[in-house]
Chains A and B, each alone.
Chain A
Amino acid sequence: MRKVLMANHAVSIGVKLSRVSVVAAYPITPQSQVVELISEMCADGEIDAKFLKVESEHSAMACCIGAALGGSRVFTATSSQGLLLMHEMLHWAAGSRVPIVMTNVNRSVSPPWSIWTDQTDSLSQRDTGWIQLYCESNQEVLDSIIQAYWIAEKVNLPFMVVFDGFYLSHTNEAVDIPEQSDVDRFLRKFRPKFKIDVKKPHAFNSIVYPDAYMEFRHMIKESMDTVPAVVNKCGAEFGKKFGRVYGTLEEYRNEDAEISLITSSTVTSTARIVIDEYRKKGIKAGLIKLRLFNPFPREDILNAIRGKRKVGVIDRNYSPGNGGVFAQTLRANIIGNGDIPEIYPFIVGLGGRDVHLGVLNEAIDIMASNKKIKAGEEIWLDLKK
């Protein structure tokens, strides 16, 4: 069934199709409609789920961890300050190895107060042990929720589906809604690997001495390392069933490109147009849309940038003192892999500022010129003088 949906409601429907049974959430702009619709569907009996209307995001995540350890498929949604308040429990979820799925609708962090999009909120949670996946369209949002459970439950790690506030959250697009029966065949019933069972008592998350802590972290590493392959496998199987193939990244006119842009989220759609325009002008420009950010899909990205002369990273986020998070992470992951292209880190569209065609044109023009970039330097585009 095709329906015109805003991304927030695409999430709610994805949650319903995934047969989630416990939801705990606290409202925050621009996420609120995600849980409003879920709460309506719970009240109407359209979803067989318990919705805990908790008093904070911190408690929301604690509830989700408890419910997941109890053996339920769980969901929550948040944004910006809410996600930051959750930070401690994000670590706790990953360490507990519970496959919670959460949506974070990107919103810049305050002060100054801002409700508009940028990715600093989610990217500043990079080190919490959550899988992070960034979406370009409402269709991808819905599809990614279903895939998130598939992947998270395979690797026993929590999963964050991320998309832009307002640019997607409140924007309506035609979305193909899969049949429940097809989703049921794709996403099997949740069979948790770790679960509370009164017949088999265990102690979860006990204190460990230095002779064991590292091994627990190493087990997370081993699972994390498998994630890019699992994301590709899941995306391929999803494609077989529903006709829409996904992977850790998507390449657009990139194969023979000399200059490539790396984008994530909605900026990608604008970048597709820009690439087409430059191709018309005879410039070999290409695009790599990065879907999976954490763990960083090192092999896939190396294959995508190999042989390029220059690669520009479009970061709609800023880590003070470090620059754009995608660019830094890319650099850290490609050094030592032989000939690698020159990396141009661009900071764009913070706090919801529009990333229009001109902004991305400027990025490509800078790369096409002979401008050199020093290590650690970033280029801010569309900054008012």
Chain B
Amino acid sequence: MARPKKVRIPSEEFFHPGHYACQGCGAPIVGRYLLKALGKKTIIVIPACCWSVIQGPYPYSTLKVNVIHTAFETAASTAAGIRASLEMQKKNDVNVVALAGDGGTFDIGLQALSGAAERNDDIIYVCYDNEAYMNTGIQRSSSTPLGAWTTTTPGTHYKDRPKKDIIQIMAAHRIPYAATGNVAYPEDLYVKFKKATTMRGLRFFHILSPCPPGWRSSSEDSIKIARYATWSKMHPLYEVYDGEKYVVRKPEKEIPVNDYFSLQKRFAHLTEREVDTIQQMVDERWESLLRLAS
């Protein structure tokens, strides 16, 4: 697929300066471009995750829209309840968005998300994925990639299972739209968020979002690392319509996974052979993705 046309991203901000994210965190970028695309008629539901801190403590708020904080596993169901309420009041021009981390999406929140997807509740669900429970101190989640160090998968016992394929799971629900995104590609993100507003039903985003403390990387490298994730096909950019139609965006440059790994210390313990095994898996997954898109 060709690179998208030049996108003009609005200068209006719905995001106050002075948020509570760590330096180099990808998560604020997700929220910022999300709201640039969705505008002020948006309600954000935040379960327990880094964003529940980034959003700011009472009486402050980082976002200029309504925010509802809810329990870890209830982003989708709380959002569904809000939507039902708005529907009964005939307020149908409001975006109801769940903004959750990988733990609240891939793990503890999966039941509620699957329920909302099966019912095709009219919400936008955005998962910013930093590949572990970062808010509680870098414990592995089912989104942690194979081979990665976390505080519950130490280097000597690194994560020995591959990352859960959340998009395939969501696509299997036959929802109207599921897409991956990456904070290193804001235009792509913006276009996809905008596209989501033209649809109804459950729209799902899986966005890679670097975490310098958790990935043991330099804050200033975050965007570079995120871009390398797509270049190395660790995090390919693609869309799935109605669970069937795959549209894959080929990276503008291809690099081995080791280039991506070398910028982060969480993969530092891996031997050359282990890296080769991961490379092989990534290549196979990419091939199967291309087959789905063809």
Contacts and interface: CB of A to CB of B under 8 A. Distances in A.
A136 B42 CA distance: 45
B75 to A, nearest CB: 9
A208 B57 contact: yes
A71 B70 contact: no
A63 B121 CA distance: 11
A62 B66 contact: no
A215 B38 CA distance: 35
Interface in A26-78: 48-50, 52-56, 58-60, 62-72, 74
B230 interface: no
A194 B55 CA distance: 20
B70 to A, nearest CB: 6
B19 interface: no
Contact of A67 (B40, B41, B61, B82): B82
B204 to A, nearest CB: 16
A198 B84 contact: no
A50 to B, nearest CB: 5
Main secondary structure of the interface of B (DSSP, over half): mixed
Interface string B75-88: 01111111111111
A55 B114 contact: yes
A50 B74 CA distance: 19
B12 to A, nearest CB: 14
A204 interface: yes
Interface residues of B, number: 48
B200 interface: no
B224 interface: no
B182 interface: no
A214 to B, nearest CB: 13
A66 B78 contact: yes
A196 B115 CA distance: 24
A18 to B, nearest CB: 14
Contacts of B41: 198
Given A206-B61, A207-B52, A70 B74 contact: no
Contact of A59 (B45, B66, B112): B112
Contact of B66 (A53, A65, A196, A212): A196
A22 B81 contact: yes
B85 A22 contact: yes
A72 B89 CA distance: 8
Nearest to B80: A63
Interface residues of A, number: 42
B148 interface: no
Contact of A55 (B65, B88, B115): B115
B290 interface: no
Nearest to A205: B69
Contacts of A109: none
Contacts of A59: 74, 76-77, 80, 111-112, 115
Most central of A21, A66, A71 by chain B CB within 10 Å? A66
B115 A206 contact: no
A179 interface: no
Given A55-B111, A55-B118, A66-B79, A205 B70 contact: yes
B68 A205 contact: yes
B53 A207 contact: yes
Contacts of A89: 71, 74
Interface in B45-102: 45, 52-53, 55-61, 63-71, 73-74, 76-89, 91, 94
Given A65-B78, A71-B85, A198-B94, A207 B66 contact: no
Nearest to A64: B81
Contact of A198 (B65, B78, B111, B119): B65
Contacts of A186: none
Given A24-B81, A88-B71, A201 B57 contact: no
B43 interface: yes
B66 A206 contact: no
Given A55-B111, A62-B112, A201-B64, A207 B57 contact: yes
Given A58-B74, A206-B57, A207-B69, A66 B88 contact: no
B84 A62 contact: no
Contacts of A72: 84-85, 88-89
Most central of A55, A71, A88, A208 by chain B CB within 10 Å? A55
A50 B87 contact: yes
A203 B45 contact: no
A207 to B, nearest CB: 5
B32 to A, nearest CB: 16
A222 interface: no
A24 B85 CA distance: 11
Contact of B40 (A69, A198, A212): A198
Contacts of B118: 55
Contacts of A197: 66
A55 B71 contact: no
A197 B85 CA distance: 12
Contacts of B52: 207
A59 B115 CA distance: 9
B78 A212 contact: no
20 contacts: A50-B84, A52-B84, A55-B112, A58-B73, A58-B74, A59-B80, A59-B112, A65-B70, A65-B81, A71-B85, A89-B71, A89-B74, A198-B40, A201-B63, A203-B55, A203-B58, A204-B68, A206-B55, A206-B61, A206-B67
4 nearest A-B residue pairs (beta carbon): A66-B81, A70-B85, A55-B115, A63-B81
Given A206-B59, A208-B57, 13 more contacts: A54-B77, A59-B111, A62-B70, A65-B78, A66-B70, A69-B85, A197-B66, A201-B61, A201-B63, A204-B67, A205-B70, A207-B69, A209-B57
